[in-house]
């Protein structure tokens, strides 16, 4: 099982009904190719960091799929659609698994810090923790 995140930006010019229609279409395209929807987030209108096709805003939408196959068909559809300003498909399962493993290997623990020294140093300079002793 692979996990994919699909984030895409719909053009702000299109009507809301059309946008929801497109979103359901994309969802069904992915599901037809064997993907299972795990999560979905509608970010709504957001300012773009830079203009794309002369628009400064975009309608963001996020899918998280789990699939054994690929999302090539969805990718192709999004690329060909002129309603989609940008899209990105990222595989996340491996990175998340690795992150999990790393987190387990060094579990969150309080860093051993020479407390006495730190407080003694930090008397005159509030807001600046003395961290030379750490790490």
| Footprint on this chain of another protein (rule: CB under 8 A) | 5, 7-9, 48-50, 52, 58, 60, 62, 85-88, 90, 95-96, 98-100, 102-103, 106-108, 111, 124-125, 128, 131-132, 134-135
Residue closer to another protein by CB (options 32, 37) is 37
Question: Residue 96 CB, nearest distance to another protein (Å)?
Answer: 6
Question: Residue 102 CB, nearest distance to another protein (Å)?
Answer: 5
| Beta sheet of 35-52, edge-to-edge order | 35-52, 55-67, 2-10, 84-91
Residue closer to another protein by CB (options 74, 85) is 85
Residue closer to another protein by CB (options 7, 19) is 7
Question: Residue 58 CB, nearest distance to another protein (Å)?
Answer: 7
Q: Cα 34–37–42 angle (5° rounding)?
A: 140
Q: Are 66 and 36 in contact (CB under 8 A)?
A: yes
**CA dist 117 to 109, 112, 125, 128, 134, Å?**
20, 12, 14, 14, 11
Q: Cα 28–29–33 angle (5° rounding)?
A: 110
Residue closer to another protein by CB (options 72, 99) is 99
Question: Residue 11 CB, nearest distance to another protein (Å)?
Answer: 12
Q: Interhelix angle for 72-80 vs 16-32, to 10°? A: 150
């Amino acid at each position: 099982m692979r996990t994919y995140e699909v984030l895409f930006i719909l053009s702000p010019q299109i009507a809301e009904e059309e946008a929801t229609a497109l979103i359901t279409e994309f969802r069904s395209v992915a599901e037809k190719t064997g993907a299972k929807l795990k999560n979905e987030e509608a970010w709504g209108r957001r300012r773009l960091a830079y203009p794309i096709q002369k628009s400064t805003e975009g309608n963001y939408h996020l899918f998280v799929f789990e699939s054994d196959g690929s999302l090539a068909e969805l990718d192709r559809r999004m690329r060909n659609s002129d309603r989609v300003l940008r899209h990105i498909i990222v595989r996340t399962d491996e990175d998340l698994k690795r992150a999990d493993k790393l987190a387990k290997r060094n579990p969150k623990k309080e860093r051993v810090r020479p407390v006495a020294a730190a407080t003694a140093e930090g008397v005159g300079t509030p807001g600046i923790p003395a961290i030379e002793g750490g790490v």
